[in-house]
Homo-oligomer: A and B are copies of this chain.
Amino acid sequence: MNFYSIKDAIKYEGHDSKNPLAFRWYNPDQKVLGKTMRDHFRFAVCYWHTLCWPGLDPFGGDTFMRPWHHMADPMEAAKVKADLMFETLRLLDIDFFCFHDLDIAPEGKNLKEFNANVTAIAKIFEKKMAQSGKKLLWGTANMFSNRRFMAGAATNPDPDVFAYCAAQVKHCLDVTKDLGGENYVMWGGREGYETLINTNIGHELKQAGRFLSLAVEYKHKIGFKGPILIEPKPKEPTVHQYDFDVASIYGLLKSYGLENDVKLNIEQNHAILAGHTFQHEIALAAALGIFGSLDLNRGDYLLGWDTDQFAMNVPELTLMMLEVIRAGGFTTGGMNFDAKIRRQSIDPDDLLHAHAASMDATARGLLGAAKIIEDGRLQAEVDKRYAKWSEPVNKAMLEKGAALEAIAARVHKDAIEPQPKSGRQEYLENLLNQV
């Protein structure tokens, strides 16, 4: 299949290369802070935006005119897509991919047929993975596109949908395990509501918590080692989604005692729709012990919907990488692009340009973050700011035995009057820019 214009994989050619299909910064084997770039990022190509989305938006249709979207036999189309996924991974020198069950195989007359289709394509994957060494970062079940999910999946008012989802997730988890997937993801695309007036929010939250518990129990039963990852998103297509943001999900996990089995897959575009920066969500997840994986796209701050653009902004990616490194880097997680080329980018090679450009930008983010860490001045400023907390009298206030009235008494006795100190924000922003 000659989908792309190139035959040879894209290579690192150094900062000054003028070859439009080369890496200028992403050098997979270059070590940064003791780890190769390849291992820092664990990049993954996503099936849906890359191979399934035909370029439609709410006001217009297919612009891409991909051949496989116009084939008569859906299983034939599925095979073409499978070939192309591995070709894309090869050309981009990317190790991982991700999918929804519905991305890789067509629905049949019923769930049984759908499962069979998914399994058939998974068999093809297995062979290709063995040949190529490519790996599955995560699998997930699409429980939002079909009309049966229009009022939610696990949080549907109709328990038949809950049951159906259980059956779908079971199969998808099985397949993910069989393929050696490193994580299993749940994105609650329609787990929320359109209007509160027909919704029992308490009941739906209970359904959400219970469903997640069932999945966790099953994962243990079958010996799936990776975590289940939830992907926060505040809204769209729903008016309100229960997995609003990192903090919301943490509350749910604590309620059901799932905070050790479930981690988060955080996306930049979802973060900003919830009113947070990407780095905030990562830092918070790390602080709460639930940092898992990333969807590395970017949204448009001036638009109110998910634009899922390829990440290109080096200063933002630097701050993001700084938090990833502070969080200890990825274990099972990785960086799934989850980005789509603009619907006007109709040339096949636009897919390669987009991924390679974003890989380069992320590599520059890593190099910047590493410099900041090696420079040490930023961390030193932060440490200095909190330094007094390591004094015994202060440390004690955060520990058992402290009492409000005792602290109050000390304040009066010692006539403590706190002295404000500059937060030095502009100095630190300059420091970041310099480094």
A410: B residues at CB distance < 8 A: 163
- CB A374 to nearest CB in B, in angstroms, measures 14
Known interface pairs A63-B150, A197-B378, A235-B303; A398-B110 also in contact (CB < 8 Å): no
Chain B residue at minimal CB-CB distance from A248: B247
Task: Tell me, in angstroms, the Cα distance from A418 to B377 when the chains sit together.
Answer: 55
Q: How many copies does the complex hold?
A: 4
Residue pair B345, A287 in contact (C-beta under 8 Å): no
Interface residues of A in 136-195 (CB under 8 A from B): 144-151, 156-164, 166-167, 169-171, 189-190, 194-195
Any B CB within 8 A of the CB of A342: yes
- CB A192 to nearest CB in B, in angstroms, measures 10
- CB A395 to nearest CB in B, in angstroms, measures 8
Q: Is the interface of A mostly helix, strand, loop or mixed?
A: helix
Interface residues of A in 292-319 (CB under 8 A from B): 300-306, 310, 312-315, 319
- CB A422 to nearest CB in B, in angstroms, measures 4
Chain A contact residue count (CB 8 A cutoff): 152
Instruction: Pick the contact of A250: B196, B251, B430 (CB < 8 A).
Output: B251
Task: Tell me, in angstroms, the Cα distance from A287 to B214 when the chains sit together.
Answer: 21
Chain B residue at minimal CB-CB distance from A289: B202
Residue pair A157, B386 in contact (C-beta under 8 Å): yes
Any B CB within 8 A of the CB of A31: no
- CB A4 to nearest CB in B, in angstroms, measures 14
Chain B residue at minimal CB-CB distance from A302: B275
Task: Tell me, in angstroms, the Cα distance from A341 to B323 when the chains sit together.
Answer: 25
Instruction: Pick the contact of A304: B145, B215, B304, B354 (CB < 8 A).
Output: B304
